[in-house]
Homo-oligomer: A and B are copies of this chain.
Amino acid sequence: MPREVLPGTLDLMVLKTLDTLGPTHGYGIAQRLIQISDGILDLNQGSLYPALLRMEQRGWISSDYGISENNRKARYYALTADGRKRLKTEIEQWKGMVQIMTRLIEA
Give me the interface of A with B, judged by CB distance under 8 Å: 2-3, 6-9, 12-13, 16-17, 20, 33, 36-37, 40-41, 91, 93-94, 96-98, 100-101, 103-105, 107
Point out which of A9, A12, A13, A20 has the most chain B C-beta atoms below 10 A from its C-beta.
A9
Query: Given A3-B8, A7-B7, 9 other A-B contacts at CB below 8 A?
Result: A6-B7, A7-B8, A36-B103, A36-B107, A37-B100, A40-B96, A40-B100, A91-B105, A98-B98
Contact A104 B36 (CB under 8 A): yes
Query: Oligomeric state, in number of copies?
Result: 2
Residue of B with least CB distance to A20: B107
Residue of B with least CB distance to A37: B100
